[in-house]
Amino acid sequence: MDKYVSILKDRGITVTPQRIAVLSYLDSHRTHPDAETIYEDLKKDNPSLSKTTIYNTLDMLRQHSLIKVLTIGSKFRYDFNLLPHHHFRCQRCGAVIDIPPGNAPLDCMDTDGHRVDEIHVYLKGICKACLQKQKEENNG
C-alpha cells in the first residue's frame, strides 16, 4: 500500500482509498482490464464504490501519466505497464497480452526525420493458450 501512496504523493495527487485500490488492482492484474471489470472486481470488497468513481479515477491516473489507455476492440482497456511495449489481442478468448518491443515491424521503421513520441502496435490472432486448447480438442 505504501508503494501506491508514494506514487500518488509524488505526482501531487490526493491519496484516497479508491485511488489506491485502482492502482493496486491495475498493478496486480496486468491483463489490461476495462473499467467495468475493475468496477465489478473492486466492488466485491468496497460495496459503496461507484462506477463514476472508477471512471474518474482512471481518467485522473491517465492525465497524470500513471497508466496508459488502450483502444483495442470496442472497449478502453487500462495498462499499468508504462514501459514501451506492444499488444496482442486473441480473437478467440479476447485476452490482451504484452509483447516486448523489438518484436514488431514498426520498431525498425524509418521515420524520415520525424520525432516519434509514441508507437501503438496491436496485433490480432489466436493466443498460445487457445491454440493449445484447440490442438487438444482436435486430438481428443
Work out how many domains the chain is built from and give that number.
2
From residue 116, alpha-carbon distances to 12, 16, 113, 121 in Å are 28, 35, 9, 13
Q: What is the pLDDT of residue 105?
A: 56
Query: 134 pLDDT exceeds 80?
Result: yes
Domain of residue 125, residue span: 86-139
Same domain, residue pair 29 and 58:
yes
Q: Range with the lowest mean pLDDT among 102-106, 114-118, 134-138?
A: 102-106
Same domain, residue pair 100 and 50:
no
Same domain, residue pair 73 and 116:
no
Query: In which band, very low, low, confident or very high, does the pLDDT at 52 lie, cut at 50, 70 and 90?
Result: very high
> Which phi and psi (to 5°) does residue 77 adopt?
-120, 155
Query: Looking at residue 92, what DSSP letter applies?
Result: T
Same domain, residue pair 134 and 114:
yes
Q: Range with the lowest mean pLDDT among 26-40, 43-57, 84-98, 106-120?
A: 106-120
Q: Are 97 and 128 in contact (CB under 8 A)?
A: no
Same domain, residue pair 71 and 34:
yes
Same domain, residue pair 100 and 57:
no
Same domain, residue pair 23 and 75:
yes
Same domain, residue pair 42 and 58:
yes
